[in-house]
Amino acid sequence: MGLLYVSAENDGEWLYQNVRALGGEGIVAKRAGSLYRGGTSNDWLKMKVPGYHRLGKFTRAPLPS
C-alpha cells in the first residue's frame, strides 16, 4: 500500500480501522481550519498501527553534488 489521501472524513475510527485492514502504517491528520506552515505544530497528529513494520531499511538517496 502506498499513500491514500482523504480530503475529509467524519469517522476517524472507521478510517483508521480500514487503513489497518489494508496493511497501512497509520494515518496523519491535520486539525480542520488550521493553516499549513513549516515547522512543528500541535495541529498535526500521527496515529501509527501498533506492530507495523516496513520490510527492508529506509535509506535516503545521496544529495546531488
User: pLDDT tens digits, residue range 13-61?
Assistant: 888 888 889 888 888 888 888 988 888 889 988 888 888 776 666 566 7
> In degrees rounded to 5, what are phi and psi of residue 29?
-130, 145
- Nearest alpha carbon to residue 15 among 50, 47, 54, 51: 47
In this prediction the pTM is 0.58
Start-end of H helices in 1-65: 12-21
User: How far is 36 from 39, CA to CA, in rounded Å?
Assistant: 10
The C-alpha angle 35, 13, 33, rounded to 5 degrees, equals 15
